[in-house]
Amino acid sequence: MALKTAKEYVESLRRLKLDLYMFGEKVENWVDNPVIRPSINAVAMTYKVAHEPELEELASTESMLTGEKVNRFASLFKSTDDLVKKVKLQRLLGQRTGSCFQRCVGMDAVNAVFSTTYEMDQKYGTEYHQRFRAWLAYVQGNDLCVQGAMTDVKGDRGLSPSKQVDLDMFVHVVERRSDGIVIRGAKANQTGTVNSHEMLVMPTLRMTEEDKDYAVSCAIPTDAEGVHLIYGRQSCDTRKLEEGDIDVGNYAFGGQEVLTVLDNVFVPWDRVFMCGEHDFSVMMVERFAGYHRQSYGGCKPGIGDVIIGAAAAMADYNGVPRAAHIRDKIAEMNHLVETLHACGLACSTEGWKTSAGNYQSDILLANVCKQNVTRFPYELCRLAEDIAGGAVVTVPSEKDFRHPVVGKYIEKYLKGVADVPTEDRIRMLTLIHCMSFGLTAPSYRTESLHGAGSPQAQRIMIERQTDMDLKKRLARSLAGIDKREDVLA
Ligand code: SF4
Ligand code: FE
Protein backbone atom coordinates (compact mmCIF):
# COMPACT_ATOMS: atom_id res chain seq x y z
CA MET A 1 0.00 0.00 0.00
CA ALA A 2 1.23 3.51 -0.84
CA LEU A 3 1.85 6.14 1.80
CA LYS A 4 -1.35 7.04 3.61
CA THR A 5 -2.70 10.55 3.17
CA ALA A 6 -3.66 12.53 6.26
CA LYS A 7 -7.30 11.87 5.47
CA GLU A 8 -6.76 8.13 5.06
CA TYR A 9 -4.93 8.09 8.38
CA VAL A 10 -7.82 9.78 10.17
CA GLU A 11 -10.31 7.41 8.54
CA SER A 12 -8.18 4.41 9.54
CA LEU A 13 -8.47 5.49 13.18
CA ARG A 14 -12.24 5.21 12.95
CA ARG A 15 -11.88 1.47 12.34
CA LEU A 16 -10.15 0.93 15.72
CA LYS A 17 -12.28 -0.28 18.60
CA LEU A 18 -10.52 1.47 21.45
CA ASP A 19 -11.57 1.11 25.05
CA LEU A 20 -11.03 4.77 25.92
CA TYR A 21 -12.13 6.82 28.92
CA MET A 22 -12.03 10.56 29.51
CA PHE A 23 -13.70 12.79 32.11
CA GLY A 24 -15.34 9.71 33.66
CA GLU A 25 -16.99 8.51 30.48
CA LYS A 26 -16.27 5.97 27.78
CA VAL A 27 -15.51 7.83 24.57
CA GLU A 28 -17.07 6.22 21.52
CA ASN A 29 -16.46 8.74 18.74
CA TRP A 30 -13.05 9.89 19.84
CA VAL A 31 -11.90 10.92 16.35
CA ASP A 32 -14.33 13.85 16.35
CA ASN A 33 -14.03 14.64 20.05
CA PRO A 34 -13.01 18.31 20.38
CA VAL A 35 -10.56 17.61 23.22
CA ILE A 36 -8.81 14.82 21.31
CA ARG A 37 -9.07 16.00 17.70
CA PRO A 38 -6.21 18.57 17.83
CA SER A 39 -3.84 15.76 18.81
CA ILE A 40 -5.04 13.68 15.85
CA ASN A 41 -4.46 16.68 13.57
CA ALA A 42 -0.88 16.87 14.82
CA VAL A 43 -0.18 13.22 13.94
CA ALA A 44 -2.01 13.65 10.64
CA MET A 45 0.58 16.27 9.73
CA THR A 46 3.25 13.51 9.71
CA TYR A 47 1.20 11.83 6.97
CA LYS A 48 0.50 15.05 5.09
CA VAL A 49 4.13 16.16 4.74
CA ALA A 50 5.07 12.86 3.10
CA HIS A 51 2.86 13.89 0.16
CA GLU A 52 4.29 17.39 -0.26
CA PRO A 53 6.67 17.23 -3.25
CA GLU A 54 9.20 19.66 -1.76
CA LEU A 55 9.35 17.66 1.47
CA GLU A 56 9.40 14.21 -0.10
CA GLU A 57 13.07 13.60 0.68
CA LEU A 58 12.73 14.69 4.26
CA ALA A 59 9.41 13.04 5.11
CA SER A 60 9.76 9.73 3.27
CA THR A 61 12.58 7.32 2.54
CA GLU A 62 13.39 3.91 1.12
CA SER A 63 12.58 1.00 3.41
CA MET A 64 15.66 -0.91 4.59
CA LEU A 65 13.47 -4.03 4.62
CA THR A 66 11.66 -3.89 1.29
CA GLY A 67 13.19 -1.06 -0.74
CA GLU A 68 9.70 0.46 -0.99
CA LYS A 69 9.02 4.12 -0.27
CA VAL A 70 7.86 4.53 3.33
CA ASN A 71 7.01 7.36 5.68
CA ARG A 72 10.14 8.35 7.62
CA PHE A 73 8.24 7.82 10.86
CA ALA A 74 7.92 4.11 10.01
CA SER A 75 11.50 3.70 8.82
CA LEU A 76 14.80 2.27 9.97
CA PHE A 77 17.71 4.70 9.88
CA LYS A 78 20.07 3.55 7.11
CA SER A 79 22.76 6.21 7.60
CA THR A 80 23.75 9.25 9.64
CA ASP A 81 22.08 11.26 6.87
CA ASP A 82 18.79 9.57 7.80
CA LEU A 83 19.35 10.56 11.43
CA VAL A 84 19.98 14.18 10.40
CA LYS A 85 16.88 14.21 8.20
CA LYS A 86 14.82 12.85 11.06
CA VAL A 87 15.81 15.78 13.31
CA LYS A 88 15.22 18.32 10.54
CA LEU A 89 11.80 16.85 9.84
CA GLN A 90 10.94 17.03 13.53
CA ARG A 91 11.92 20.70 13.67
CA LEU A 92 9.74 21.42 10.67
CA LEU A 93 6.79 19.59 12.21
CA GLY A 94 7.30 21.39 15.53
CA GLN A 95 7.09 24.65 13.60
CA ARG A 96 3.99 23.56 11.68
CA THR A 97 2.02 22.25 14.63
CA GLY A 98 3.47 24.12 17.62
CA SER A 99 2.84 20.89 19.50
CA CYS A 100 3.90 17.30 20.01
CA PHE A 101 3.08 15.31 16.87
CA GLN A 102 3.49 12.03 18.78
CA ARG A 103 4.73 9.70 16.07
CA CYS A 104 8.45 9.87 16.93
CA VAL A 105 8.24 7.54 19.92
CA GLY A 106 7.24 4.64 17.70
CA MET A 107 9.93 5.43 15.13
CA ASP A 108 12.56 5.51 17.86
CA ALA A 109 11.25 2.32 19.47
CA VAL A 110 11.26 0.49 16.13
CA ASN A 111 14.94 1.30 15.61
CA ALA A 112 15.95 0.30 19.14
CA VAL A 113 14.06 -3.00 19.04
CA PHE A 114 15.41 -3.78 15.57
CA SER A 115 19.06 -3.61 16.63
CA THR A 116 18.57 -5.16 20.07
CA THR A 117 16.66 -8.19 18.79
CA TYR A 118 19.46 -8.84 16.29
CA GLU A 119 22.06 -8.95 19.05
CA MET A 120 19.82 -11.04 21.29
CA ASP A 121 19.45 -13.64 18.55
CA GLN A 122 23.23 -13.68 18.02
CA LYS A 123 23.75 -14.54 21.66
CA TYR A 124 20.82 -16.82 22.38
CA GLY A 125 19.87 -18.29 18.98
CA THR A 126 16.36 -16.90 19.39
CA GLU A 127 14.24 -15.72 16.47
CA TYR A 128 13.11 -12.34 17.74
CA HIS A 129 14.74 -10.36 14.94
CA GLN A 130 13.02 -12.24 12.11
CA ARG A 131 9.69 -11.85 13.88
CA PHE A 132 10.33 -8.16 14.35
CA ARG A 133 11.23 -7.67 10.69
CA ALA A 134 7.96 -9.35 9.66
CA TRP A 135 5.93 -7.13 12.01
CA LEU A 136 7.74 -4.00 10.84
CA ALA A 137 7.14 -4.91 7.18
CA TYR A 138 3.42 -5.07 8.06
CA VAL A 139 3.64 -1.64 9.77
CA GLN A 140 5.47 -0.09 6.83
CA GLY A 141 3.24 -1.73 4.22
CA ASN A 142 0.15 -0.25 5.87
CA ASP A 143 1.80 3.04 6.96
CA LEU A 144 0.64 2.49 10.52
CA CYS A 145 1.22 4.81 13.44
CA VAL A 146 3.14 3.03 16.20
CA GLN A 147 3.28 4.14 19.81
CA GLY A 148 6.44 3.29 21.75
CA ALA A 149 5.43 2.04 25.20
CA MET A 150 8.29 2.21 27.66
CA THR A 151 7.51 4.15 30.86
CA ASP A 152 6.11 1.85 33.55
CA VAL A 153 4.10 3.30 36.42
CA LYS A 154 6.94 2.14 38.76
CA GLY A 155 5.18 2.13 42.17
CA ASP A 156 7.78 2.44 44.94
CA ARG A 157 10.76 3.94 43.10
CA GLY A 158 13.10 2.49 45.71
CA LEU A 159 12.17 -1.11 44.88
CA SER A 160 12.95 -3.27 41.86
CA PRO A 161 10.03 -4.65 39.80
CA SER A 162 9.87 -8.06 41.48
CA LYS A 163 10.12 -6.53 44.99
CA GLN A 164 7.08 -4.26 44.64
CA VAL A 165 4.15 -4.83 47.00
CA ASP A 166 1.93 -4.88 43.91
CA LEU A 167 3.74 -6.94 41.27
CA ASP A 168 1.96 -5.14 38.43
CA MET A 169 3.86 -1.88 38.87
CA PHE A 170 5.99 -2.87 35.88
CA VAL A 171 4.59 -4.65 32.83
CA HIS A 172 5.41 -8.33 33.10
CA VAL A 173 4.70 -11.77 31.69
CA VAL A 174 2.08 -13.52 33.80
CA GLU A 175 1.66 -16.61 31.63
CA ARG A 176 3.68 -18.39 28.94
CA ARG A 177 1.50 -20.48 26.62
CA SER A 178 2.24 -22.60 23.58
CA ASP A 179 0.69 -19.92 21.35
CA GLY A 180 2.02 -16.82 23.09
CA ILE A 181 2.30 -14.88 26.34
CA VAL A 182 -0.06 -12.97 28.61
CA ILE A 183 1.17 -9.64 30.01
CA ARG A 184 -0.12 -7.35 32.74
CA GLY A 185 0.74 -3.88 34.03
CA ALA A 186 0.37 -0.29 32.91
CA LYS A 187 2.41 2.23 30.96
CA ALA A 188 2.17 5.85 32.12
CA ASN A 189 2.34 9.15 30.19
CA GLN A 190 2.02 7.37 26.88
CA THR A 191 2.34 9.79 24.00
CA GLY A 192 -0.26 9.33 21.29
CA THR A 193 -1.63 5.86 22.16
CA VAL A 194 -5.16 6.85 21.18
CA ASN A 195 -3.89 8.03 17.79
CA SER A 196 -1.88 4.88 17.06
CA HIS A 197 -2.73 1.57 15.46
CA GLU A 198 -0.06 -0.40 17.28
CA MET A 199 1.98 -0.09 20.45
CA LEU A 200 5.50 -1.43 20.82
CA VAL A 201 6.11 -2.43 24.42
CA MET A 202 9.64 -2.27 25.88
CA PRO A 203 11.08 -2.65 29.37
CA THR A 204 11.63 0.60 31.24
CA LEU A 205 14.95 -0.05 32.97
CA ARG A 206 17.87 -2.44 33.43
CA MET A 207 16.56 -5.82 34.66
CA THR A 208 18.28 -8.52 36.69
CA GLU A 209 17.75 -12.29 36.77
CA GLU A 210 15.07 -11.99 39.46
CA ASP A 211 13.19 -9.47 37.29
CA LYS A 212 13.33 -11.52 34.12
CA ASP A 213 9.53 -11.71 33.77
CA TYR A 214 9.66 -7.94 33.41
CA ALA A 215 12.13 -8.10 30.52
CA VAL A 216 9.46 -8.15 27.86
CA SER A 217 9.05 -6.49 24.48
CA CYS A 218 6.14 -7.08 22.13
CA ALA A 219 3.72 -5.44 19.71
CA ILE A 220 0.03 -5.07 20.54
CA PRO A 221 -2.80 -3.50 18.53
CA THR A 222 -4.10 -0.52 20.53
CA ASP A 223 -7.58 -2.04 20.47
CA ALA A 224 -6.52 -5.52 21.62
CA GLU A 225 -8.61 -7.29 24.27
CA GLY A 226 -7.53 -6.14 27.75
CA VAL A 227 -6.08 -2.77 26.66
CA HIS A 228 -7.77 0.09 28.54
CA LEU A 229 -6.89 3.70 27.77
CA ILE A 230 -7.43 6.59 30.18
CA TYR A 231 -6.88 10.04 28.66
CA GLY A 232 -4.52 12.38 30.52
CA ARG A 233 -5.69 15.87 31.47
CA GLN A 234 -3.98 18.96 30.18
CA SER A 235 -4.01 22.41 31.65
CA CYS A 236 -6.98 24.35 30.23
CA ASP A 237 -8.24 21.32 28.24
CA THR A 238 -11.91 22.19 28.71
CA ARG A 239 -11.34 25.44 26.83
CA LYS A 240 -11.52 23.19 23.76
CA LEU A 241 -15.15 22.45 24.61
CA GLU A 242 -16.10 26.13 24.58
CA GLU A 243 -17.54 28.05 21.67
CA GLY A 244 -14.98 29.95 19.60
CA ASP A 245 -11.29 29.27 19.19
CA ILE A 246 -9.41 32.26 20.62
CA ASP A 247 -9.12 31.01 24.21
CA VAL A 248 -7.54 27.72 23.12
CA GLY A 249 -4.52 29.51 21.65
CA ASN A 250 -3.17 26.87 19.31
CA TYR A 251 -6.66 25.99 18.12
CA ALA A 252 -5.86 23.24 15.59
CA PHE A 253 -3.08 21.15 17.12
CA GLY A 254 -2.12 19.56 20.43
CA GLY A 255 -0.34 16.71 22.15
CA GLN A 256 -1.74 13.68 23.93
CA GLU A 257 -0.69 11.52 26.88
CA VAL A 258 -2.52 8.42 28.02
CA LEU A 259 -2.46 6.00 30.94
CA THR A 260 -2.35 2.66 29.12
CA VAL A 261 -3.55 -0.32 31.13
CA LEU A 262 -2.62 -3.82 29.94
CA ASP A 263 -4.94 -6.13 31.82
CA ASN A 264 -3.96 -9.71 30.96
CA VAL A 265 -3.32 -8.98 27.30
CA PHE A 266 -2.56 -12.01 25.14
CA VAL A 267 0.31 -11.59 22.66
CA PRO A 268 0.99 -14.32 20.06
CA TRP A 269 4.62 -15.43 19.76
CA ASP A 270 5.11 -13.80 16.36
CA ARG A 271 4.64 -10.43 18.10
CA VAL A 272 7.01 -11.14 21.01
CA PHE A 273 10.50 -9.63 20.67
CA MET A 274 11.95 -10.19 24.14
CA CYS A 275 10.77 -12.57 26.83
CA GLY A 276 13.07 -13.01 29.79
CA GLU A 277 16.43 -12.00 28.26
CA HIS A 278 16.97 -9.58 31.13
CA ASP A 279 20.57 -8.81 30.18
CA PHE A 280 19.33 -7.12 26.98
CA SER A 281 16.78 -4.84 28.62
CA VAL A 282 19.42 -2.16 29.29
CA MET A 283 20.52 -2.17 25.63
CA MET A 284 16.95 -1.67 24.47
CA VAL A 285 16.33 1.08 27.01
CA GLU A 286 19.55 2.98 26.32
CA ARG A 287 19.22 2.78 22.54
CA PHE A 288 15.61 3.91 22.63
CA ALA A 289 16.52 6.75 25.00
CA GLY A 290 19.42 7.68 22.72
CA TYR A 291 17.03 8.01 19.81
CA HIS A 292 14.30 9.83 21.66
CA ARG A 293 16.69 12.26 23.34
CA GLN A 294 18.00 12.99 19.84
CA SER A 295 14.40 13.62 18.74
CA TYR A 296 14.09 16.42 21.27
CA GLY A 297 16.80 18.27 19.34
CA GLY A 298 14.23 18.46 16.53
CA CYS A 299 10.74 18.99 17.92
CA LYS A 300 11.65 21.25 20.83
CA PRO A 301 13.55 23.84 18.75
CA GLY A 302 10.69 23.70 16.23
CA ILE A 303 8.12 24.53 18.91
CA GLY A 304 10.60 27.08 20.31
CA ASP A 305 10.63 28.81 16.91
CA VAL A 306 6.88 29.38 17.25
CA ILE A 307 7.28 30.78 20.76
CA ILE A 308 9.99 33.15 19.56
CA GLY A 309 7.75 34.26 16.70
CA ALA A 310 4.90 34.86 19.13
CA ALA A 311 7.13 36.87 21.49
CA ALA A 312 8.47 38.98 18.63
CA ALA A 313 4.91 39.55 17.35
CA MET A 314 3.88 40.74 20.82
CA ALA A 315 6.81 43.17 20.83
CA ASP A 316 5.52 44.50 17.49
CA TYR A 317 1.93 44.73 18.75
CA ASN A 318 3.11 46.52 21.87
CA GLY A 319 5.15 49.00 19.83
CA VAL A 320 8.57 48.06 21.24
CA PRO A 321 10.28 45.86 18.61
CA ARG A 322 13.40 48.07 18.53
CA ALA A 323 13.85 48.36 22.31
CA ALA A 324 17.38 47.18 23.08
CA HIS A 325 16.37 44.81 25.89
CA ILE A 326 13.66 43.21 23.72
CA ARG A 327 16.10 42.59 20.88
CA ASP A 328 18.57 41.14 23.32
CA LYS A 329 15.93 38.78 24.73
CA ILE A 330 14.91 37.64 21.26
CA ALA A 331 18.58 37.05 20.42
CA GLU A 332 18.93 34.97 23.58
CA MET A 333 15.84 32.93 22.65
CA ASN A 334 17.25 32.24 19.20
CA HIS A 335 20.56 31.22 20.74
CA LEU A 336 18.70 28.74 22.98
CA VAL A 337 16.73 27.03 20.21
CA GLU A 338 19.72 26.85 17.88
CA THR A 339 21.79 25.28 20.67
CA LEU A 340 19.11 22.62 21.12
CA HIS A 341 19.03 21.94 17.40
CA ALA A 342 22.83 21.89 17.19
CA CYS A 343 22.86 19.14 19.82
CA GLY A 344 20.23 17.19 17.86
CA LEU A 345 22.29 17.48 14.68
CA ALA A 346 25.54 16.65 16.46
CA CYS A 347 24.32 13.37 17.94
CA SER A 348 22.95 12.49 14.49
CA THR A 349 26.12 13.10 12.48
CA GLU A 350 28.08 11.21 15.15
CA GLY A 351 25.75 8.22 14.83
CA TRP A 352 27.10 4.69 14.26
CA LYS A 353 26.08 1.51 12.49
CA THR A 354 24.69 -1.27 14.69
CA SER A 355 25.38 -4.96 13.97
CA ALA A 356 21.81 -5.19 12.63
CA GLY A 357 22.63 -2.55 10.01
CA ASN A 358 20.55 0.44 11.11
CA TYR A 359 22.14 3.56 12.61
CA GLN A 360 22.16 4.64 16.24
CA SER A 361 22.46 8.26 17.37
CA ASP A 362 25.51 9.05 19.52
CA ILE A 363 24.23 8.24 22.99
CA LEU A 364 26.38 10.69 24.99
CA LEU A 365 25.54 13.65 22.76
CA ALA A 366 21.85 12.68 22.64
CA ASN A 367 21.77 12.77 26.43
CA VAL A 368 23.51 16.16 26.45
CA CYS A 369 20.85 17.32 23.98
CA LYS A 370 18.00 16.21 26.22
CA GLN A 371 19.66 17.62 29.34
CA ASN A 372 19.61 21.04 27.67
CA VAL A 373 15.97 20.45 26.74
CA THR A 374 15.15 20.04 30.44
CA ARG A 375 16.25 23.67 30.92
CA PHE A 376 16.05 25.85 27.83
CA PRO A 377 12.29 25.66 27.16
CA TYR A 378 11.73 27.05 30.69
CA GLU A 379 13.90 30.04 29.82
CA LEU A 380 12.21 30.41 26.44
CA CYS A 381 8.80 30.51 28.11
CA ARG A 382 10.05 32.94 30.77
CA LEU A 383 11.38 35.32 28.13
CA ALA A 384 8.21 35.01 26.00
CA GLU A 385 6.07 35.82 29.05
CA ASP A 386 8.40 38.68 29.92
CA ILE A 387 8.13 40.23 26.45
CA ALA A 388 4.38 39.60 26.09
CA GLY A 389 3.43 41.06 29.46
CA GLY A 390 1.14 39.98 32.29
CA ALA A 391 -1.89 39.88 30.01
CA VAL A 392 -0.69 36.38 29.07
CA VAL A 393 -2.49 35.19 32.20
CA THR A 394 -5.18 37.85 32.62
CA VAL A 395 -6.71 38.35 29.19
CA PRO A 396 -10.54 38.16 29.25
CA SER A 397 -12.39 35.36 27.49
CA GLU A 398 -13.51 35.31 23.88
CA LYS A 399 -17.11 35.39 25.11
CA ASP A 400 -16.45 38.72 26.82
CA PHE A 401 -14.63 39.98 23.76
CA ARG A 402 -17.70 39.18 21.65
CA HIS A 403 -20.15 40.44 24.28
CA PRO A 404 -22.56 43.20 23.13
CA VAL A 405 -22.00 45.28 26.27
CA VAL A 406 -18.38 44.79 27.43
CA GLY A 407 -16.80 43.69 24.13
CA LYS A 408 -16.20 47.28 23.06
CA TYR A 409 -14.21 47.99 26.22
CA ILE A 410 -11.93 45.04 25.57
CA GLU A 411 -11.56 46.15 21.96
CA LYS A 412 -10.58 49.64 23.15
CA TYR A 413 -8.45 48.97 26.19
CA LEU A 414 -6.53 45.88 25.13
CA LYS A 415 -5.32 47.51 21.95
CA GLY A 416 -1.60 48.02 21.45
CA VAL A 417 -0.29 49.84 18.36
CA ALA A 418 -3.00 51.49 16.25
CA ASP A 419 -2.69 49.39 13.12
CA VAL A 420 -2.98 45.95 14.75
CA PRO A 421 -6.50 44.68 15.54
CA THR A 422 -7.09 43.97 19.22
CA GLU A 423 -8.21 40.48 18.27
CA ASP A 424 -4.77 39.69 16.81
CA ARG A 425 -3.13 40.85 20.02
CA ILE A 426 -5.45 38.67 22.11
CA ARG A 427 -4.88 35.67 19.85
CA MET A 428 -1.12 36.01 20.23
CA LEU A 429 -1.46 36.27 24.01
CA THR A 430 -3.53 33.09 24.21
CA LEU A 431 -1.09 31.29 21.91
CA ILE A 432 1.75 32.10 24.31
CA HIS A 433 -0.48 31.12 27.22
CA CYS A 434 -1.32 27.76 25.71
CA MET A 435 2.22 26.93 24.63
CA SER A 436 3.68 27.96 27.93
CA PHE A 437 1.15 26.43 30.31
CA GLY A 438 -0.42 23.51 28.56
CA LEU A 439 -2.38 22.13 25.64
CA THR A 440 0.49 21.75 23.23
CA ALA A 441 2.90 19.00 24.15
CA PRO A 442 0.91 18.83 26.62
CA SER A 443 3.02 21.63 28.11
CA TYR A 444 6.21 22.77 26.45
CA ARG A 445 7.83 23.05 29.85
CA THR A 446 6.92 19.91 31.76
CA GLU A 447 7.05 17.73 28.68
CA SER A 448 10.55 19.03 28.01
CA LEU A 449 11.52 18.20 31.58
CA HIS A 450 10.17 14.66 31.86
CA GLY A 451 9.52 13.49 28.30
CA ALA A 452 12.21 11.07 27.01
CA GLY A 453 13.39 10.70 30.60
CA SER A 454 13.67 13.06 33.57
CA PRO A 455 16.88 15.10 34.04
CA GLN A 456 18.60 12.63 36.36
CA ALA A 457 18.28 9.84 33.79
CA GLN A 458 20.45 11.85 31.41
CA ARG A 459 23.00 12.68 34.09
CA ILE A 460 23.41 8.98 34.83
CA MET A 461 23.95 8.30 31.12
CA ILE A 462 26.36 11.22 30.75
CA GLU A 463 28.39 9.80 33.64
CA ARG A 464 28.27 6.29 32.13
CA GLN A 465 29.19 7.38 28.62
CA THR A 466 32.03 9.73 29.49
CA ASP A 467 35.60 8.45 29.34
CA MET A 468 36.83 9.89 32.64
CA ASP A 469 40.10 7.93 32.56
CA LEU A 470 41.00 9.69 29.34
CA LYS A 471 40.30 13.09 30.87
CA LYS A 472 42.41 12.31 33.95
CA ARG A 473 45.24 11.06 31.73
CA LEU A 474 45.15 14.30 29.78
CA ALA A 475 45.45 16.31 32.97
CA ARG A 476 48.19 14.11 34.44
CA SER A 477 50.16 14.39 31.27
CA LEU A 478 49.98 18.19 31.09
CA ALA A 479 50.74 18.51 34.80
CA GLY A 480 53.97 16.56 34.22
CA ILE A 481 52.85 13.66 36.40
CA ASP A 482 52.85 11.17 33.50
CA LYS A 483 55.95 11.24 31.27
CA ARG A 484 55.24 12.22 27.65
CA GLU A 485 57.38 11.83 24.57
CA ASP A 486 55.68 14.30 22.22
CA VAL A 487 57.00 17.61 23.60
CA LEU A 488 59.66 19.33 21.55
CA ALA A 489 62.73 20.05 23.60
FE1 SF4 B 1 8.02 13.62 18.86
FE2 SF4 B 1 8.80 15.57 20.43
FE3 SF4 B 1 6.40 14.53 20.78
FE4 SF4 B 1 8.53 13.11 21.47
S5 SF4 B 1 7.85 15.05 22.39
S6 SF4 B 1 6.80 12.37 20.25
S7 SF4 B 1 10.01 13.78 19.92
S8 SF4 B 1 7.12 15.64 18.98
FE1 FE C 1 7.79 13.45 24.29
The domain spans of the chain are 6-278, 293-470
Predicted confidence at residue 486, as pLDDT, reads 82
Distance of CA 94 from the midpoint of ligand 1 (Å): 9
Distance CA 33, CA 359 (A): 39
Distance CA 108, CA 474 (A): 36
* Residue of 191, 250, 369, 374 best suited for mutating to test ligand 1, as the one with most atoms within 8 Å of CB: 191
Predicted confidence at residue 52, as pLDDT, reads 98
Burial class (CB in 10 A: 0-12, 13-18, 19+), 43: buried
Predicted confidence at residue 489, as pLDDT, reads 65
Distance CA 40, CA 202 (A): 24
Predicted confidence at residue 483, as pLDDT, reads 86
What atom in ligand 1 is closest to the CA of residue 447?
Answer: 5
Distance CA 250, CA 434 (A): 7
Stretches where the chain sits below pLDDT 70 are 1, 439-442, 489
Identify whether 104 is a catalytic site residue. yes
Predicted confidence at residue 155, as pLDDT, reads 97
Of 218, 299, 347, 381, the catalytic one is 299
Counting ligands in written order, the one closest to the CA of 299 is 1
Protein residue closest via CA to atom 2 of ligand 1:
299
Which of 1.20.140.10, 3.40.50.150, 3.40.50.360, 1.10.1530.10 would CATH assign to domain 293-470?
Answer: 1.20.140.10
Identify whether 413 is a catalytic site residue. no
Predicted confidence at residue 487, as pLDDT, reads 80
- φ, ψ at 34 (rounded to 5°): -65, -25
Of 46, 61, 104, 434, the catalytic one is 104
pTM for the whole structure: 0.96
Distance CA 421, CA 194 (A): 38
Instruction: Convert the pLDDT of each residue in 118-129 to its tens digit.
Output: 999 999 999 999
Predicted confidence at residue 279, as pLDDT, reads 98
Of 198, 257, 277, 385, the catalytic one is 257
Q: Which CATH superfamily is domain 6-278 in?
A: Butyryl-CoA Dehydrogenase, subunit A, domain 2 (2.40.110.10)
Q: Is the CB of 101 under 6 A from ligand 1?
A: yes
What atom in ligand 1 is closest to the CA of residue 103?
Answer: 6
Q: Is 177 helix (H, G, I), strand (E, B) or coil?
A: coil
